[in-house]
Amino acid sequence: MTRKLYEETPAPLAFTARVTGCEPDQKGYRVTLDATGFFPEGGGQPWDLGTLNGIPVTAVVVQGEEIYHLLPQPLEPGTPVEGIIDGERRLDHCQQHTGEHILSGTLHRLFGANNVGFHIGQPYVRMDLDLPLTTEQLAQAEAQANTVIRRDEPVKVWYPDPEELEALEYRSKKALEGPVRLVEIPGADRCACCGTHLERTGMVGIIKIISAQNYKGGVRLEVACGGRAIPPIQDWYRQITALSGLLSAKVPAVEQAARRMAGENQELKGQLAQLTALLIEAQARDALPGTVQVRFCEGLNPDGLRRLCLALAQRSGALSGAFAAGAQGTHYALALPGGDVRPLAAGLNQRFSGRGGGTPNLCQGCLTQGTPQAIKEYMEELSHADAI
């Protein structure tokens, strides 16, 4: 059995060992050692990276009782090796994992929420909780978790004997047999865990909840700890500063200004809807029964064109088209009561390099070529076609 140096405190970033086995693998060679400082993938934490005698270690996995190091070239059994761990990656994983313990323990203590899923991914840590939590509850837990960081508490990692373990309360996602490794953070958490952790909570730096969404009756969090928390906080600061300038409001008043603008925008949408309805009514008023209708109406969006086209078709009972210039070309809507307008739309698209489609009664799309006069002349040609 491999001695797990990564379980020691502090976990080493350099170590010496001896090769106990080497076998071919689809991606290189699987090497076992009599001792290793490389943490293998497990418990939601990715494996360590680094080198063995200068050879890159591309993955570290556990199968049964063995820990396998994947290398691109072999190492002979019996060979002494020097292992070097990627310190930056190790520190990042330790920050994320220790921070997760602090936040999970705090959420459990405050609200009885259990962490039922955990994974150190990129760019954030994923945490699945079995209870729905409000924004206010998450903010409270985040604040208390960061208080634990500022207290710079020691992180205790140990294997209690069976009698001691029996008397202890600790978090665990599943029932465990045999020796149980516990990680304890005073006042915050005690949990069964196989991962690597920091020596003190202050080394986490900061815990920041990035996002929260409802998930399987509970909540899924994206969390960033330590160095990972800096980029999103900087990005949020950049965005809020930009919004402050755009809204002509000081940073503390940005939310209030945005809400005011949203209200004004909603009011303008209502006014626009009323004006659009009046415009459609005016455009369709003079549509004569049995005549092909063509209208170019600037300012209408695709939904407005659809409504105008249907109003024209209803009054005329004939082929009707509504058009409006847009940023990508001329938007259109075609309707043919009682017929199939799709072949006509296909012809319009072919003639003027357009795209679009729809149902037999209504088609919509956008033309990238053609002047209003050319489009109108083409629609007049259709009025004399046998298909109309």
Q: What is the residue extent of each domain of the chain?
A: 3-85, 91-234, 271-383
User: Among 4, 7, 61, which residue's Cα sits nearest to residue 197?
Assistant: 7
pLDDT at 139: 98
Spatial separation of the C-alpha atoms in residues 218 and 202, rounded to whole Å: 29
DSSP 178: S
Mean pLDDT (whole number) for 292-321? 92
Spatial separation of the C-alpha atoms in residues 279 and 301, rounded to whole Å: 13
Q: Decide which of 333 and 290 is more confident.
A: 333
Percent of the chain with pLDDT over 90: 86
pLDDT tens for 1-57 read: 899 999 988 889 999 999 999 999 988 999 999 999 999 999 899 999 999 999 999
Q: Which CATH number fits domain 271-383: 3.10.310.40, 3.90.950.10, 3.40.50.960, 3.90.226.10?
A: 3.10.310.40
For the domain made up of 91-234, the CATH class stated in words is alpha beta
Statement: residue 108 has pLDDT above 80: yes
Q: Decide which of 345 and 327 is more confident.
A: 345
Statement: residue 291 has pLDDT above 50: yes
Spatial separation of the C-alpha atoms in residues 212 and 142, rounded to whole Å: 12
Residue 343's H or E segment, with its range, is helix 342-351
pLDDT at 1: 81
State whether CATH 2.40.30.130 applies to domain 3-85. Answer: yes
Collapse the DSSP code of 302 into the 3-class scheme (helix H, G, I; strand E, B; otherwise coil) and give the result: helix
pLDDT at 384: 65
Residue entry with tokens 């059995």: 1
Geometric angle at alpha carbon 231, from 138 and 255, rounded to 5° = 55
- Paired tokens of 299: 């300012």
Mean pLDDT score of the chain, rounded to an integer? 94
Q: Decide which of 217 and 382 is more confident.
A: 217
pLDDT tens for 130-153 read: 999 999 999 999 999 999 999 999
pLDDT tens for 85-104 read: 999 999 999 999 999 999 99
Q: Decide which of 336 and 387 is more confident.
A: 336
The full DSSP string for 252-316 is: GGHHHHHHHHHHHHHHHHHHHHHHHHHHHHHHHHTPPTTS-EEEE-TT--HHHHHHHHHHHHHHH
Task: Place 383 in a pLDDT band, splitting at 50, 70 and 90.
Answer: low
pLDDT tens for 257-276 read: 999 999 999 999 999 999 99
Does residue 316 contact residue 323 with C-beta atoms inside 8 Å?
A: no
pLDDT tens for 227-266 read: 999 999 999 999 999 999 999 999 999 999 999 999 999 9
Task: Place 387 in a pLDDT band, splitting at 50, 70 and 90.
Answer: very low
Task: Place 352 in a pLDDT band, splitting at 50, 70 and 90.
Answer: very high
Burial of 198 (0-12, 13-18, 19+ CB in 10 A): buried
Q: Bridge partners of 304? A: none
**Count of C-beta atoms within a 10 Å radius of residue 164:** 11
Task: Place 379 in a pLDDT band, splitting at 50, 70 and 90.
Answer: confident
Rg (CA), the chain: 33
Statement: residue 340 has pLDDT above 90: yes
The one-letter code for the residue type at 347 is: G
Q: Decide which of 299 and 4 is more confident.
A: 4
Mean pLDDT (whole number) for 147-166? 95
Q: In what order do the strands lie in the sheet with 125-129?
A: 115-120, 125-129, 218-225, 207-215
